[in-house]
Structure 1
Amino acid sequence: MRFLRRVLLALGLPVVLVAAWWFGSAGSQDFYWPSLSTIVDAFGRTWTWEMFQEQVFPSLWRLLAGYLIAVVVGVALGVLIGTYGSVRALLEPVLEFLRAFPPPVLVPAAILLSGIGDRTKILVIVFGCVWPVLLNTIEGVRGRDEVLSDTCRTYRVTGLLRLRHLVLRAASPQIVTGARQALPLAIILMVISEIMAANEGLGFTVLQFQRGFQIPEMWSGVLLLGLIGIVLSLLFRVAERSLLGWYHGQRAGQREF
């Protein structure tokens, strides 16, 4: 019953919104705002397996590559900066300067440097997604328990053992928070980069539908992007539960106490 209640709470609002959209748009004659039934029909006709292979899978590959690189780079730099105050003092002005750049602004420069291939889109995703991971990692490393740090120092726990069992473990909740914040950014930047610099991909395809006044097909692409976001969010939640099971169990025990 508890599981059923959670499922109903999770699905209740989306079901209500979809029902409202379906019945509210039924019979719509507006060219730019077709009914949901028309969009669903266009979705089935447009997004075939061949279309997924040609347009969707390349986008997902760029999204995954850019996101994972951003997470790895953000964690590595965050651990370094959070551990050593001198490195933080040296790099902080440069990082604040770079963080002020909106990632889409860099697309024209990236096109000049590397063309409109996968590298440009991956670089844009990396640049936009690395900041939440980096900043959260820094805060997580700096906020580690000093008692545990002293204990490691007393027992001469150094190197990779200290990094794995103290630093990364203490910072892991913050790292996961940064990675969660970076995920929707990765989807947005994937679409923007494909709209501005691509000859294939999901963002490019949606733009072509819009330019060709294929409005139901355009909305079906927008709907597909939303579904991709939901699936990725659910997968991330499963991974988070697996990685931070000890943390959630610890918090549950503290609440019971």
Structure 2
Amino acid sequence: MRTVSRAAVRLAYLLGLPAVLMGLWWVLSDQSTSFYFPPLRTILDSFGETWFSGRIADDVLPSVVRLLAGYAGAVAVGVSVGVLLGSSRRVRLLAEPVLEFLRAIPPPVLIPVLMLFAGIGDTMKITVIVVGSTWPVLLNTAEGVRAIDEVLADTARSYGLTGAARLRRLVLPAAAPQIVTGMRQALSISIILMVISEMFASSSGLGYTIVQFQREFAVPEMWSGILLLGLLGFLLSLLFGRFEARALRWHRGWRQAQKGES
């Protein structure tokens, strides 16, 4: 019974503020006569007609596939390079100037260049997501690896843990909290870059469709696309929260144990 009540309270906290904001939007826009800011009821009326008439398969699913592919690539590259930089001071000092230069370049600026080499297909869009979303994962991973407790490192060394065993049993678990933090930041960036990449020379996707609605002055449909993007980001955030809770369950238990001892 207590578990059910806790779940109800969490759900109320989770949906409370969005429900209040949607209610305010409904009330404040109900009498709107602006062409550019239609009432929320008009946007919701067009939502079903716009997105459940074939656009789910034609535009939403391709966007989600590109997003997940780019995000997975960013996590793989970020963790791999971050572990290397965090483990070796010489490599970090050697690579730092180049990495700082590359990090300063906004990923959308690279879209015209990537179009020359990768065309205008999914490869270009996924590459844009990978390039822009790698940095939070990479930097957080490197800092997490650098911050490994010396006592744990010495213990692993005394037990003869080297190579892949050391990486699996010491480095990745110790850096996991910061890696997950970087992954959460990268998820938000991936959604933004997914939309931006689809606005350039594309024929499908959420970004492409929203721009087309804007060019055709289909304002309620355009707002419905923006609303759908918000819902997609909210859903992905919920799913990532579940993943984070499972992945870092040991870490939270360890922190609670430390608090109990103190």
TM-score (norm 2): 0.96
Query: How far has the Cα of 1:49 moved from its partner?
Result: 5.3
- 1:224 alignment partner, one of 228, 238, 248: 228
- 1:119 alignment partner, one of 93, 118, 123: 123
- 1:163 alignment partner, one of 163, 167, 172: 167
- 1:8 alignment partner, one of 3, 9, 12: 12
Partners of 2:70 and 2:17 in 1: CA distance: 32
Cα shift readout 1:191-225 (whole Å, capped 9, x = no counterpart): 00101231111100000000000000000000000
- Tell me whether 1:54 sits opposite 2:54 in the alignment: no
2:31 is paired with a residue of what secondary structure?
coil
Partners of 1:221 and 1:255 in 2: CA distance: 46
Partner of 1:137: 141
- Tell me whether 1:206 sits opposite 2:210 in the alignment: yes
Partner of 1:39: 43
Partner of 1:110: 114
- Tell me whether 1:65 sits opposite 2:69 in the alignment: yes
Partners of 1:21 and 1:55 in 2: CA distance: 27
Runs of 4+ in structure 1 displaced over 2 angstroms? 1-7, 252-257
Q: How does 1:162-181 map to 2 (within 5 A)?
A: 162-181=166-185
Q: Equivalent pairs: percent with the same residue?
A: 58
Partners of 2:136 and 2:201 in 1: CA distance: 25
Amino acid at match of 2:88: Y
Contact 1:107 1:197 survives alignment (8 Å)? no
Partner of 2:200: 196
Amino acid at match of 1:19: G
Cα shift readout 1:208-248 (whole Å, capped 9, x = no counterpart): 00000000000000000000000000000001111111011
- Which has the larger displacement, 219-228 or 78-87? 78-87
Partners of 1:56 and 1:255 in 2: CA distance: 45
- Which has the larger displacement, 80-89 or 203-212? 80-89
Partner of 1:100: 104
Amino acid at match of 2:234: I
Amino acid at match of 1:116: I
Partners of 1:254 and 1:3 in 2: CA distance: 26
Partner of 2:92: 88
Amino acid at match of 1:228: L
1:193 is paired with a residue of what secondary structure?
helix
- 1:235 alignment partner, one of 232, 239, 243: 239
Partners of 1:149 and 1:2 in 2: CA distance: 39
Query: How far has the Cα of 1:95 moved from its partner?
Result: 0.4
Partners of 1:203 and 1:47 in 2: CA distance: 14
Q: Where does the alignment leave 5 or more consecutive residues of structure 1 unmatched?
A: none
Partners of 2:72 and 2:190 in 1: CA distance: 10
Amino acid at match of 2:33: Q
Partners of 1:99 and 1:213 in 2: CA distance: 37
Partner of 1:23: 27
Cα shift readout 1:33-90 (whole Å, capped 9, x = no counterpart): 0000000000011001521100111111110000000000000000011101111111
2:99 is paired with a residue of what secondary structure?
helix
Amino acid at match of 1:175: I
Q: Where does the alignment leave 5 or more consecutive residues of structure 2 unmatched?
A: none
2:54 is paired with a residue of what secondary structure?
helix
Amino acid at match of 2:183: A
